[in-house]
Amino acid sequence: MSITHSESMAVLSSLACRTNFTIKKITEYMLPALKEPFYLHGADKECQVVIRPAYEVFLADLCSIEGVVHKEGYFHNSEMTRFPKRVQKSLNGIHYGLAFKFNDADALTGFIKRLIAINSGN
């Protein structure tokens, strides 16, 4: 079973991740003390964290965290404005990233801590 949206928000808040905005089902977050955005997508029960596609090189590392599940392919959403665009169905392209689901709060906590370590060069 996956972690719920409200549980995800509570975990992110406890890790000092700050929110910038919420539009529709997308909430933009920043890693604590870093200017690195990521997005929480979803509603009540179903949710996922979306990170930049540049992290694809760290995919094996991030997926090795117990309880972390990478969703195959890319996640596309026009509201993820800090992410790059790629042409999929429209001529202008759409913002995209890598989506992950989490089995529990510990998996999400480990994932965010690993992202912070990657961004800090550790």
> pLDDT-based confidence at 121, cuts 50/70/90?
confident
Task: Give yes or no for a contact between 37 and 29, defined as CB atoms under 8 angstroms apart.
Answer: yes
Q: Which of 13, 100, 96, 17 is nearest to 64 (CA)?
A: 100
Q: Residue 111: CA atoms inside 13 Å, Cβ hemisphere, count?
A: 29
* pLDDT number for residue 87: 85
Each residue of 4-41: pLDDT tens digit?
889 999 999 999 999 989 998 899 999 998 989 999 99
pTM of the predicted model as reported, rounded to 2 decimal places: 0.93
pLDDT at 72 over 70: yes
Q: What is the mean pLDDT of the chain?
A: 92
Length of the chain, please?
Answer: 122
> pLDDT-based confidence at 2, cuts 50/70/90?
confident
Q: Kindly list the structural domains of the chain, giving each domain's residue range(s) and its CATH number in brackets, ordered by start.
A: 5-120 (3.90.1150.40)
